[in-house]
Structures are given as structure tokens and as C-alpha cells.
């Protein structure tokens, strides 16, 4: 994994993504007493992945709230708090269970600013671990970013490394709009990198060019980023690798700029292909960049099925599938 | 029997005037909707005493998250009539630019939540607001209203549970009008549904499952509604409470509904349980009202409401160029692109 | 509107879409006592749009059930019934309220066959009116087909005329898998056509070519079909008009065949553009037909906002927006 | 006190053997999981008496929709051990091809629902199944199990409501083990949470809100569980019922959980409230068991369970080429295309 580092006037610590997120929450809560964390097991237990570890000790149970078992309640409670001037950070223990809160998300959270013409705004960040990696079967491995991306009014963010995780989370907390913050659980403990201990932000509306190359643009985000980067390195692909960071609204300029240069495009997501996020990236290019394209736009994605417990490893994209697609695209004349 | 009360005669008389205003306006707005001046309308008949009682009960420091049938509450709260009417007629002056349906008010500066069409979709929001106010040690209670049908929803259960668990300053006020569109809360003689029985329908008793108490009040008696609700708001720092107000939806569910398909109208205008008749009886017994005064108020209201309706029927509609505003604080590139499509 | 007619051995009646759907339910219930209708106000009231009118009189309240007010309950109840050998037809009164049942749909309904490897199957048809037309503001006008299309395991069907409505509904009832049956409420009473009184089916997996032309392929479905057809007729566009009828899995062959001929593509949906169904159609073409394309693939869709009560008419696609797009595509060199 | 019972000594002894089997298997499977033979495991310790009691109560004609912690119920029901173990170890022989997590059984032919991970996600399914059986006049009841945490969910409320409204033959069985992962149902001495109070936690009383009754049973006593559940199943044609069984989750929530973070372990193996100890006491008082027999059963079980675990640890895993099967009855074109990606 190639990470970029920020050194200099900040003290940095080598952190996992979990630690970086924890550090972000700590920084934010310290600066702003309107921030409230809530969710199942986020308090005393510190979250099932430990993202909220120890925060209840520092900030008390009025700000780090163990809730009853209801995602509808967790999201709705957060919405109410944020309507009343607080800034709620609800956690959904696994993305797979967020569907029980879908009405709150689609009907209330996403629409509140628009339907009231800004009478009410909703500064809140809904965090949830998503995608595979823990081999948890159909209900612990789903991605589901497409449900949120297609919901007008939401901002959908997903980091791919500890540094971004902290900076993007802190940026999300500066928005006056609701954010769905998707944390790739396969990257929670996948490696450490230097992360400033102090507060900093990463621009939400800018994609990150992780690798530069002339032959092909590989567009990806979140859980699929390390796989793509490893594949590119290992196979010496001369590729632009674009990490979207924010799925909606995505950084159209970064994508167009790269595609104009390379004229060949692959999109890689861990979530399934059909009607997924990759479709919009491709469709946007088919609208705005058709004349630049010298090959079909291909997509490598999770299979279009629920995630089978025993066979998760065959469900997710892998190096071979990426290389097959890259070769097809590169050989296309 | 004369009700004891701690409000002045003047206030009671004024409340009565608002109640009549709601009744008269309701008829005129229903009419406006039938003539196409209002694309949609939610009738209020039968709910007036609950609304006026709630409006009386709410103090400046309280917060209310209403549902879609609470026009009269705002009237009694003293919200400027222009604010109310601009919303109902979705005019250019509406603070939400006519984006929500009629009676879907959103008035943050008056401590009023943003009414949502989804039945019970606001109950958790009200619960969160109650938490925030408790956290910030803000004086006053939070009240939220909903219908009898709403008690079957997921949101009702979850909001009641959270309110109980965190002991929130929250009054759950159920406007039980006997129906969720065509489905009765209690069985009726014609036995049109076998879905409900009285014991299952004791809505106020459901509070016990969540560790706090529920009470039932006469929703056709605005003074009873007022007193119980005010008390609940004053006490709500100690515990949440559920109030079930018994009333009857005298009109159709909405302008799209034909109640003849599913019920005989048991409570009609002018009958004993009509909130207007109940209110007249109450205030006459208190010597606040007599037949002359009743007639005088009726005439005044008839006149003022006609003028209002006329004015707002003709009011300018929102500019189409506003349609893409305020989805996000910072506009995404595709919204900017779509501005071109409007031209 | 151009409709195709089926005459001959069947008695036909001129029907609205509502009547055609009612007739389909009647035919089906008569043939099969395992079919149960359930939903809010579907019984005594006959449904708020009258689709289930009079069925309770004929089949009784054990088969036409007025339920408590909970979409989660309605869908979940139907799932249980269908697991136990019945064939449930739950109605959601407006698509807008289906989100309160989203977990049942995504977690249980869509995944049951796959996660049990067919131990349980789920023959059920979830009906709901969708899209605009009644000027009902943000919560009575939503489309939302993308949420279902992107859910693996669901079949998503939407008719555009009374004949198809009946035939597609009866076909859906022959599947042993869950169907989301989206009824465009703007077409409920938009016109009548001859519909057989008796039982018949329309192939679920076949798109319908509503108009033939050489210049451009216009791909659409459901509520947008009459608008597209009117625009095509009025402006003499030499277009293939493809009515998908089934959104997922859509008829890839029909689309490819048409696009190979016309080389120019417009997709029209009433639901918003970004991350919508139109994106997948476009992306599929960008993958499979890039060399045939002689112009960008454009999309005309609902604006990417919630539906504003007062301004719904500016929200939905219209003739002008379609013609702008057609002209852009046709003039592209 | 000797419990009166209508089952033979032989049956009781056999039930005890199953209970010990569950205990021993639980330890070995937890171990297998720690060694990586099982990628995930849901411990059972503390639940054994509920499971065995339920398995005894269920008749051939009954239907059970279990949740994810009900391994022992199937053991006692007499489901073939190969069927059970193939599921838990996600082998090629599993009827669901290892697609679900361990303990997520789906066995239609044995009248067992398809266990789902989503807490309470199956409760409405059970309700619909009960309706279908009532509609088809099928003999027998439907039983569904869930944890204490599940009572906070939307699904619990809605399922209880539907069951009450339609008067369904449905037994709601709550395995109250005191915790939803780290969140206690009732407050504990260390005061780690202020979220719950005893009165709010009286789960069985919640049934009243839905017009039927609830009872509480000792979930460490398999005979009490058996008797009450059997009675409920026999009566369930008259009315639904909620049974709350009081127990304690003696192990971690799952293999991913560390209970030391949030509780002292109040009930440990061998302590007075351990279901194994309770069962031994009960059966000794009934002269069905003595210390020799206890030892003998332990040894036998130790042996047979080791063999089982060994066998299934090594069993073949599902073929990857099955991964795209059975999403729909008729395969869509894109699934067919994706078969190519697997090669
Ligand atoms: C979640 C949801 N489902 C369905 C509807 C459609 N609907 C609007 S009002 C209503 C009945 C509500 O009844 P009740 O709660 O008693 O309130 P009332 O209208 O009688 O005041 C229904 C079913 C809705 N708005 N929201
Ligand atoms: C809807 C949902 N939210 C969250 C989870 C994660 N989770 C799994 S089990 C559990 C606790 C359940 O507690 P309880 O119902 O008491 O059952 P127990 O595990 O104690 O047997 C949680 C929160 C889930 N599976 N489903
Ligand atoms: Mg009502
Ligand atoms: Mg528990």
C-alpha cells in the first residue's frame, strides 16, 4: 500500500484505521461539546470494532450513548438531536443492519434541508463499517453504498487508509449536511500509517490520484483500493489510480482529466456490479467523454449475489479478475 | 358541569374564536380544494378541540413536533396567519417555498418541527430533540402528535422505548379519531373489520410496556385537553407520558377519500360529540358565551376567513428557478448542470 | 398513446390500468386459493386507488386483508405466508412509504432463496403505486426503482399500459421468486384500452418495441412511456422506442439489437438521473456496444432532488427536455 | 422440590444427555473457532436448558422459527446430527451450501424456518407462517425465539401487533440472557449503563399492550421451559402468548467479543444458576440421575463429540462453482456472464 504522509509541525503516530477514526472522534469531541456518539455497544464496550474505545470514559454516557437495539432508533435519535442544534454521530454496527433505519435515512435525514428549504439543516455523520473482510456471511459483509449514493441529499464518503479516514471524518463533521460515512472494515486493522495526533481535514470533494500512469484510468474507492494498488504495482500497470473518497458527489474533474489522458477506463468496486455505483461513473463518462474512449468501459465488482459465508473469497474482486479486465481493455483496438 | 380552569375568560373566549375559525376555514379550504385552488387538503373536522387545547397548553419554551393534521394548533399558538396560509396554499411566501404538502409546517423559529407525511416518521426526531434539550438543560417540554394508526408503526415503538430508557421530557399526544383512513381503531357495529378489539385498542395503556404512564382524555373538550397537556408538559422533566385523546374524524381522511365506502358517519356536524357543540356547551355553562355571541363570532369568522382564502388562492406561486436550491449547502456539480435543463 | 391489441377468442373490455390490475387479481384469486392480498385499506375501502375494489366481497377478509399501519408488517407478513406455501400480494399504499419495510425486502425477501440454496423460495408479488402524477409532494411522488434494481434477488417489473399491466402482473404471479411490481400511478386512469377479461400473460423478460425507427434508440419504461411516445409522434422522430417492462433483469438483447442499428441512445426515466436505473443501461452499453455508438449516451430524467409539492411539473421530464437531448444526440458528429 | 411432569424418566434422561452434549460441543466448537477451523461461532453456554426445554416441547406438527443461538433446540428435536454439523461447519453437504453463518439453519422439511442474522428480522416471517397455517387449518402451533435485545426492535412491535390483531397461533419465546452483546437488559451493580431499569425490562409484561398475555419462566430449568412451552403450543390456537425465559449468557456474545470489557461474569460454569447444575439437581431429586451416571454421560459425550468435531473440521467445503446458483429460479443473463469471471 502506498500512503502519502504529512510530516512537520504535527506530532504523528503510527495508527490503524480504527485508531485514526478514534483519534478523529476524540479531537472533534474535545473541540465541540455538541457532538454526541450513539449506537449499539459504542459506550462501555467501545464498539465491536473498537472505534469508540475509551471515549465514554473521557466524555461520559451523555455524549457516548449505548442505545437500545434499533437502528431506526439510533438514526432517528441522531436526526432529532441534530435538528435541535447538536451534531450527532450515530454508529450502525454493521452496514447490513442499516436497512431497518432506511426510512429515517431516506425520508427524514436526506430530505430535511430540501423540503424545508433550509429551515432545518442536519449536521450529522452516520458511520458504519461496510464490505467484507471478516468472513461474516450475507449479513456482515454487505457494501450497499449504491442505496445511499442514489438518495438525493446525502453525501457518501469512504476512506481507504488511516490518514484519509481521520481527515475525511473531521471534514464530514464540518458539513452542515448529513453524511453517510462508510468504513471499509477489511482495512480497519489492515496496516498502520503515520497520522497526525491533532486535528486536520481532508477535502471531501476531491478524489486522490494514488498512482500516475498513461495507459489506463482505474477508478475505485474504499475497500477495493489496496487490491487495486497491489495489482497495479505487482503487474507494472501504467495506470492512473483514482480513489474517489467521496462517492456522491464524486470528483468529476479528476475523472475526466484522467480519462482524457488515458482514454481507457476500468472501475473496480467490492460491491456488486449491476445498478451499482460503478454504473454511474461509467454512464457519466458515456455522456461526457465518449469521444475520448478507445475501449469499452469495464467494471470489476463483487458478484451479483448475496455474500455466501463459505465462499466470500470468490465473491470479491481479485487480482486475476482485475488483470483480465485490464488486459481486455489494453488489447482493445 | 362547569370545568374549573386557571385561564381567564378572555383567553377561553379567544380560544373558542380560534376553534370556530378552524371549523370555518376547514370548510372553505375543503371547498377550495374541490375547486382546484388547493391541489390537496387534509380535513380537520372533529379535531378542533384537541388542536385548540394543545395550542393553549404549549408555552413559549415548549417544542412541538406536529403531524399533518394540526392546522388549528398553530392557529391557537398565535403563529402569524400569513405564515400559516402561505404554507397551506404553497405560495412564493412560504418559508419552505411550497415544497411540502399543505399543513406540513416547518417553523424552527417558533419551536415547531418539520411535519412529515410518513406516518410516525417524526416520532424519533421528537425524541432526539427532547434529548438535545435535556442535554442542553433547556427549559420546557417537547410534545409530539400523531394519529391512532401511527401506534402500529415501528417508529412508535422505538420512540416510546427510547423516551422511556432515557427518561426524556416528551409528551406523546395521540389524536385518536377512530380511523386510519378506512381502518377503525375499534370495531364498529357493521363489523367491517375483525382486525381490532377494544382491549387491543387501549392506546394509552401501551405506555406501561415502556415504563411510564398513559392517560386518556376527552378530545372533544378543549379545556380537558389543555389542562392535561399543560400538566404533562410541566411534569415531563420527570418522565415521558402518553396522552390518548378520544375524538372522531368527522370528514373524509383527505380530499382523495370517500368515507361512505367504509363507514356510516356516526358523529356529524351539530351532533352532541361535535367539538364545536361541546365547546359551546362548556363555555355557556361558564357564562362566557351565549347565543348572540355565538352568532356574532360565526359572522365575523365567516367574513374574515373568506377574505383570507380569497387572498391566498390568488397568491403568487414559487418561482420555478428556485427548484434546485438548498439540496446541499454546497451545490454539487450535477445540480448546477441541471439548472440548464430548466431553461 | 399507441397500444397493441389482442383480439379474437377472448372477450375484451375497455379498461383503465386500475381496472386491468383489478381484473388480473380477480382472475388469479379465482384460479388459486393460495393467493392472499394484504395492505392498508385494500379491503373494505378497495385500496386508495381502487385497485383491489370489491375483491373483499368476493374472496372474504381472510384473503383480502386490511392490515395495521405498518409496511414492515405488511411485507413481513407476506414473506411468512409465502414461505409457508401461500402466494402473498402485499400492497404498499405509496412507494414512498416502502422504506419502512426496506429491511424486510433487502434482508429477507431478496436473499431467502439464495442464502438457503432454495430450501425456501418466495413466490410473492409486492405491488405499489409509484412516481408522480397526483401532485402529492415529496412523499407521494417518488419512484425509487433503483433501490430495488440494485438488490440482488429481486425482479423489478413496471407496466406502461393497461394490457401489459394485467399480463405482467399475472406473469409475476407465476414466478417462484419475489417481484417488485411498480405501478405508475400517473397512468392508473390515464386512458383505457381493450384488455381481455380472461387470464393471459405477458413475457416478463422481454422488452416491447413500441415504435420502430433508424435514427435513435430511446429506452424507457413505466411512467415515462406515454411522454416519450407522444414526443416521438409529435416531432416525427425516427426512433426505436423500447419499453423495458422489466427493469431487472432487463432485456439486454432487445437493447443491443436496437443500438447496433441506430448507434445513438437516449434513456428516459421519471426517477432522478444520478445513480439511477438509467446509469446501468448506459454502463452496459459502454461495456458491450462502445464501437457502435456514434454519439454520447444521454439521459433525461427527474431532477436530482426530492419532489417539491408546488413545482412537481418542473421536476419531471418533459417534451422540451427530451427534444433538446434528441437534437444534441442527432447533431453529434 | 420434585417437579411434576408428564414425560417418562427415559425421555428426561435423554434430554439431559442432549443438554450435556450441547455444553460439551459448545466448548469444542468455541475451541475449533479459536484454532481457525470455524471462522465464526456463537457460544451457547447458559442457554442449554431453554434449548432442551424447547426441543422437548415442540411436536411434529409444530413449526419453529429459531434465532441464531438455538443449536441445542435442533439437537433435542432429533434433527440428524449430520444435518446440523454440516451447517455449522459450512461443508459441501450443508443443504444451504454453507451460505449462511454457523447456527443459521434452514430446514423446511423439519418445519424449521431460515435463521437470519438480523436481530428480529424473522419475527414477521413467523407471524406470516402462523397466518398461513391458520388459513390452511394446519394442526399445531408456531414458535419463534429471539433474545432480550430483540424486544427493542421495530420487528418485535409489529409482529406482536399483527399476532394480536389476527389472533395467531404463535408463541413468542424470548431467551433473556441478560445482555444484548454488552448492553444489559437490567441494570447491574457496577452501574455501567443507566439505560435500563427493572420495570422497563419486564419483557413478558409487554404482551399486554397487544391484547394477549405474557409469562415468565426459569430459563435454567428445562422442565419448566418444556411444560410452559408445550402448554402454550397446545393453547396457541386461542391466542398468541409471550414467554420470557430468564437465563444468563455465560460466555462471550460471539467469538469476536470480550465480555471482560463490560461485565463481571456473575454466572460461571458449575455455579448454582448454571443450567447443567440446575438440571443435575432436578434429575437427582427425581432419582433419574446420580453421580456415577453423570460421570458416565460426561465421558461418553466427551468421546462422541470429539469424534464429531474431528469429522466435520475435515469435511469438504462447498465447490466454488456453485456460488452463482439459485439466486433466481431462472438465471438472468448477467449471472450467466459472471460464471466466466470465476474461471
Ligand atoms: C408509513 C406510512 N404509511 C402509509 C401512509 C398513508 N397514510 C396516510 S395517513 C394514513 C392513516 C393514518 O391514520 P392515523 O395515524 O390514525 O391518523 P389520521 O389520519 O387518522 O389523523 C395512511 C395509511 C403514510 N402516510 N405513511
Ligand atoms: C438489526 C441488528 N442490529 C444489530 C445486530 C448486531 N447484533 C448481533 S446480536 C446483537 C445482540 C442481540 O442481543 P439479544 O437479542 O439479547 O440476543 P443474544 O445475542 O443475547 O442471544 C447485536 C446487536 C444485528 N444482528 N441485527
Ligand atoms: Mg386516525
Ligand atoms: Mg440477550
Contact assignment for B193 to C48 by CB distance below 8 Å: no
Per-residue pLDDT, B185: 83
The CA distance from D170 to D188, in Å, is: 32
From the list C19, C63, C140, C245, the catalytic residue is C140
CA-nearest of A277, A255, A268 to A209 is A255
What does the CA dihedral D161, D167, D169, D175 come to, rounded to 10 degrees?
A: 30
Compute φ and ψ for C125, nearest 5 degrees: -125, 115
Q: Before A249, cis peptide (omega within 30)?
A: yes
Return the SS3 of C48.
Answer: coil
Per-residue pLDDT, C9: 59
- What CATH number should be reported for the domain holding residue B319? 3.40.50.970
Per-residue pLDDT, B201: 60
CA-nearest of B182, B68, B164 to B122 is B68
Chain centroid to Cα C310, Å, comes to 25
Ramachandran assignment for D17, one of left (phi > 0), alpha (psi -120 to 50 degrees), beta (any other) = alpha
By C-alpha distance, the chain D residue nearest A319 is D341
Return the SS3 of A266.
Answer: strand
Residues of A in Cβ contact (< 8 Å) with B141: none
* CA B147 to ligand 3 center in whole angstroms: 5
State the smallest CA–CA distance between residue A198 and chain C in angstroms. Answer: 36
Q: What is the mean pLDDT of residues D84-97?
A: 97
ipTM over 0.90: yes
Question: pLDDT tens-digit profile of D161-180?
Answer: 999 999 999 999 999 999 99
Residue with CA at minimum distance from ligand 1 atom 17: B147
Per-residue pLDDT, B199: 46
Per-residue pLDDT, C3: 40
Q: How confident is the model at residue B341 (pLDDT cuts 50, 70, 90)?
A: confident
Q: How confident is the model at residue B163 (pLDDT cuts 50, 70, 90)?
A: very high
Per-residue pLDDT, B255: 86
Task: Give, for B146, the enclosing helix (H) or strand (E).
Answer: strand B142-147
Per-residue pLDDT, B36: 85
Return the SS3 of B198.
Answer: coil
Specify the fold of A12-196. Answer: Rossmann fold (3.40.50)
Strands D183-184 and D179-180: antiparallel
| Cα four-point dihedral sign B211, B215, B216, B220 | negative
Per-residue pLDDT, D188: 41
The CA distance from B118 to C100, in Å, is: 9
Q: What is the mean pLDDT of residues B211-236?
A: 95
Q: How confident is the model at residue B272 (pLDDT cuts 50, 70, 90)?
A: very high
What does the CA dihedral C7, C12, C17, C23 come to, rounded to 10 degrees?
A: -130
Residue B71 and residue B46 in contact, taking contact as beta carbons nearer than 8 Å: no
Residue C8 pLDDT exceeds 70: no
C-alpha cell at A69: 437495539
Per-residue pLDDT, B39: 78
Show Cβ contacts of residue D59 under 8 Å, excluding neighbours closer than 6 positions.
Answer: D140, D230, D233
| C252-262 and C277-288 helices, crossing angle to 10° | 60
* Helical segments of D66-221, H only: 71-77, 81-88, 123-135, 154-165
Per-residue pLDDT, D4: 52
Q: Where are the domains of chain C?
A: 12-196, 208-331
Question: pLDDT tens-digit profile of C59-114?
Answer: 999 999 999 999 999 999 999 999 999 999 999 999 999 999 999 999 999 999 99
Q: Is residue B34 part of a domain?
A: yes
The CA distance from C41 to C45, in Å, is: 5
pTM passes above 0.90? yes
C135 in active site? no
Q: Before C249, cis peptide (omega within 30)?
A: yes
CB of B133 closer than 6 angstroms to any ligand 1 atom: no
Residue B150 pLDDT exceeds 60: yes
Residues of A in Cβ contact (< 8 Å) with C275: 146, 149-150, 248, 277, 279-280
Taking residue B333's Cβ as centre, other Cβ atoms within 10 Å add up to: 13
The CA distance from A223 to A228, in Å, is: 10
Question: Angle C277-C283-C284 (CA atoms, 0-180°, nearest 5)?
Answer: 95
C-alpha cell at A167: 481527515
Quickly tell me which residue has 444435518 as its cell: D83
Longest CA pairwise span in chain A (Å): 63
The CA distance from C129 to A70, in Å, is: 29
Answer yes or no: CATH 3.40.228.10 is held by domain C208-331: no
Per-residue pLDDT, B5: 55
Q: What is the mean pLDDT of residues A294-321?
A: 97
The CA distance from A313 to A132, in Å, is: 9
Per-residue pLDDT, D9: 95
Residues of C in Cβ contact (< 8 Å) with A293: 286, 290
Measured between CB atoms, does D100 come within 8 Å of chain A? yes
C-alpha cell at B135: 442535554
Chain B interface disruption, residue of D153, D200, D205, D207, most B CBs within 10 A: D200
Contact assignment for C69 to B341 by CB distance below 8 Å: no
Q: What is the mean pLDDT of residues A72-97?
A: 98
Residue A158 pLDDT exceeds 50: yes
User: Which residue among D195, D199, D210 places its CB closest to the CB of B200?
Assistant: D210
Taking residue C331's Cβ as centre, other Cβ atoms within 10 Å add up to: 8
| pLDDT, chain B, mean | 92
Q: Give me the residues paired with residue A182 across strands.
A: A128
Taking residue B188's Cβ as centre, other Cβ atoms within 10 Å add up to: 16
Q: Is residue B3 part of a domain?
A: no
DSSP code of residue B157: H
Compute φ and ψ for D93, nearest 5 degrees: -85, -10
Identify the contact set of chain B against chain D, taking CB-CB distances under 8 A.
Answer: 152-158, 161, 164-166, 195-197, 199-200, 205-206, 208-211
Return the SS3 of D60.
Answer: coil
| pLDDT, chain C, mean | 96
Taking residue B306's Cβ as centre, other Cβ atoms within 10 Å add up to: 13
Measured between CB atoms, does A305 come within 8 Å of chain C? yes
Burial class (CB in 10 A: 0-12, 13-18, 19+), A100: buried
C-alpha cell at C158: 413496471
Q: How confident is the model at residue B69 (pLDDT cuts 50, 70, 90)?
A: very high
Burial class (CB in 10 A: 0-12, 13-18, 19+), A88: buried
The CA distance from A159 to A204, in Å, is: 10
* Helical segments of chain B, H only: 9-34, 48-57, 71-77, 81-88, 123-135, 154-165, 222-235, 275-285, 291-313, 333-341
Q: How confident is the model at residue B6 (pLDDT cuts 50, 70, 90)?
A: confident
C-alpha pair distances (Å), A22 with each of A19, A29, A47, A50, A167: 5, 11, 10, 8, 12
Q: Give me the residues paired with residue D145 across strands.
A: D173
Contact assignment for C309 to B117 by CB distance below 8 Å: no
Long-range contacts of D297-303 (CB under 8 A, 24+ apart): D297/D16, D297/D17, D297/D20, D298/D20, D298/D24, D300/D17, D301/D17, D301/D20, D301/D21, D301/D24, D302/D24
Show Cβ contacts of residue B130 under 8 Å, excluding neighbours closer than 6 positions.
Answer: A80, B63, B141, B142, B163, B168, B169, B170, B240
Per-residue pLDDT, A8: 52
Q: For the residues of C228-279, what is the DSSP string, one character each?
A: HHHHHHHTT--EEEEE-SEEET--HHHHHHHHHHH--EEEEEEEESTTSHHH
Residue A170 and residue A261 in contact, taking contact as beta carbons nearer than 8 Å: no
- Smallest-distance ligand from the CA of B256: 1
Show Cβ contacts of residue C69 under 8 Å, excluding neighbours closer than 6 positions.
Answer: B119, B149, B150, B152, B153, B180, B183, C40
Tell me how many domains chain B contains: 1
Q: How confident is the model at residue B93 (pLDDT cuts 50, 70, 90)?
A: very high
Question: Angle D88-D91-D94 (CA atoms, 0-180°, nearest 5)?
Answer: 75
Compute φ and ψ for C117, nearest 5 degrees: 50, 40
Range of the domain at B127: 9-342
The CA distance from A287 to C185, in Å, is: 30
Q: For the residues of A158-175, what is the DSSP string, one character each?
A: --SSHHHHHHHHHHHTT-
User: Which residue among D116, D261, D322 places its CB closest to the CB of A45?
Assistant: D261
User: Which residue among D99, D158, D334 places its CB closest to the CB of C72?
Assistant: D158
C-alpha pair distances (Å), B312 with each of B29, C87, C238: 11, 50, 47
Per-residue pLDDT, B120: 98
| Cα four-point dihedral sign D146, D149, D153, D156 | positive
Per-residue pLDDT, C10: 67
Question: Angle B301-B307-B310 (CA atoms, 0-180°, nearest 5)?
Answer: 135
Q: What is the mean pLDDT of residues A291-306?
A: 97
Amino acid at each position: 500500500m502506498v500512503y502519502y504522509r504529512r510530516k512537520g509541525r504535527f506530532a504523528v503516530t503510527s495508527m490503524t484505521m480504527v485508531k485514526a477514526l478514534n483519534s478523529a472522534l476524540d479531537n472533534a469531541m474535545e473541540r465541540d461539546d455538541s457532538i454526541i456518539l450513539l449506537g449499539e455497544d459504542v459506550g462501555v464496550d467501545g464498539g465491536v470494532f473498537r472505534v469508540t474505545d475509551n471515549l465514554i470514559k473521557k466524555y461520559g454516557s451523555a455524549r457516548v450513548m449505548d442505545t437500545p437495539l434499533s437502528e431506526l432508533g439510533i438514526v432517528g435519535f441522531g436526526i432529532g438531536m441534530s435538528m435541535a442544534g447538536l451534531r450527532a454521530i450515530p454508529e450502525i454496527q454493521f452496514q447490513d443492519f442499516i436497512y431497518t433505519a432506511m426510512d429515517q435515512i431516506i425520508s427524514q435525514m436526506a430530505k430535511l434541508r430540501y423540503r424545508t428549504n433550509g429551515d432545518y439543516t442536519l449536521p450529522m455523520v452516520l458511520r458504519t463499517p461496510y464490505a467484507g473482510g471478516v468472513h461474516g456471511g450475507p449479513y456482515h459483509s454487505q457494501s450497499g453504498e449504491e442505496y445511499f449514493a442514489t438518495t438525493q441529499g446525502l453525501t457518501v464518503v469512504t476512506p481507504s487508509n488511516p490518514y484519509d479516514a481521520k481527515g475525511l471524518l473531521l471534514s464530514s463533521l464540518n458539513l452542515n449536511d448529513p453524511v453517510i460515512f462508510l468504513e471499509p472494515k477489511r482495512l480497519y486493522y489492515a496496516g498502520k500509517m503515520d497520522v497526525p495526533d491533532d486535528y486536520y481535514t481532508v477535502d471531501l470533494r476531491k478524489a486522490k490520484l494514488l498512482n500516475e500512469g498513461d495507459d489506463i484510468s482505474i477508478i475505485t474507492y474504499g475497500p477495493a483500493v489496496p487490491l487495486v494498488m497491489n495489482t497495479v504495482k505487482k503487474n507494472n500497470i501504467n495506470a492512473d489510480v483514482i480513489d474517489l473518497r467521496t462517492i456522491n458527489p464524486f470528483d468529476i474533474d479528476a475523472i475526466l482529466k484522467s480519462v482524457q489522458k488515458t482514454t481507457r477506463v476500468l472501475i473496480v468496486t467490492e460491491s456488486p456490479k449491476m445498478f451499482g455505483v460503478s454504473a454511474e461513473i461509467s454512464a457519466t463518462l458515456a455522456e461526457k467523454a465518449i469521444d475520448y474512449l478507445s475501449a469499452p468501459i469495464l467494471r470489476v465488482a463483487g458478484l451479483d449475489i448475496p455474500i455466501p459465508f463459505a465462499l466470500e473469497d470468490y465473491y470479491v474482486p481479485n487480482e486475476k479478475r482485475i488483470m483480465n479486465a485490464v488486459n481486455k481493455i489494453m488489447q482493445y483496438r | 358541569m362547569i370545568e374549573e380552569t386557571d385561564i381567564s375568560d378572555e383567553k377561553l373566549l379567544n380560544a373558542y374564536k380560534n376553534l370556530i375559525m378552524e371549523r370555518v376555514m376547514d370548510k372553505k379550504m375543503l371547498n377550495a380544494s374541490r375547486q382546484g385552488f388547493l391541489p390537496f387538503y387534509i380535513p380537520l373536522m372533529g379535531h378542533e378541540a384537541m388542536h385548540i387545547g394543545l395550542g393553549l397548553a404549549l408555552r413559549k419554551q415548549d417544542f412541538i413536533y406536529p403531524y399533518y393534521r394540526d392546522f388549528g394548533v398553530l392557529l391557537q399558538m398565535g403563529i402569524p396567519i400569513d405564515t400559516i396560509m402561505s404554507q397551506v396554499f404553497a405560495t412564493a411566501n412560504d418559508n419552505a417555498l411550497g415544497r411540502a404538502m399543505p399543513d406540513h409546517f416547518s417553523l424552527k423559529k417558533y419551536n415547531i418541527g418539520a411535519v412529515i407525511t410518513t406516518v410516525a416518521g417524526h416520532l424519533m426526531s421528537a425524541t432526539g430533540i427532547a434529548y438535545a434539550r435535556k442535554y442542553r438543560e433547556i427549559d420546557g417540554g417537547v410534545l409530539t402528535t400523531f394519529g391512532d394508526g401511527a401506534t402500529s408503526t415501528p417508529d412508535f415503538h422505538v420512540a416510546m422505548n427510547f423516551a422511556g430508557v432515557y427518561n426524556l421530557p416528551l409528551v406523546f399526544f395521540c389524536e385518536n379519531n377512530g380511523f386510519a383512513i378506512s381502518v377503525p381503531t375499534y370495531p364498529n357495529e357493521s363489523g367491517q373489520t375483525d382486525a381490532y378489539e377494544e382491549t387491543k385498542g387501549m392506546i394509552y395503556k401501551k405506555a406501561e410496556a415502556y415504563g411510564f404512564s398513559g392517560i386518556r382524555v376527552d378530545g372533544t373538550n378543549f379545556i380537558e385537553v389543555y389542562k392535561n397537556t399543560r400538566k404533562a408538559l410541566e411534569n415531563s422533566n420527570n418522565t415521558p407520558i402518553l396522552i390518548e385523546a378520544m375524538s372522531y374524524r368527522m370528514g373524509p381522511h383527505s380530499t382523495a377519500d370517500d368515507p361512505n365506502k367504509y363507514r356510516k358517519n356516526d358523529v356529524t356536524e351539530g351532533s352532541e360529540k361535535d367539538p364545536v357543540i361541546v365547546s359551546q356547551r362548556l363555555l355557556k355553562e361558564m357564562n362566557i358565551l351565549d347565543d348572540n355571541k355565538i352568532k356574532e363570532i360565526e359572522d365575523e369568522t365567516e367574513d374574515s376567513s373568506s377574505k383570507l382564502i380569497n387572498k391566498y388562492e390568488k397568491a403568487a406561486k414559487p418561482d420555478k428557478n428556485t427548484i434546485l436550491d438548498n439540496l446541499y449547502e454546497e451545490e454539487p456539480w450535477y445540480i448546477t448542470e441541471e439548472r440548464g435543463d430548466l431553461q
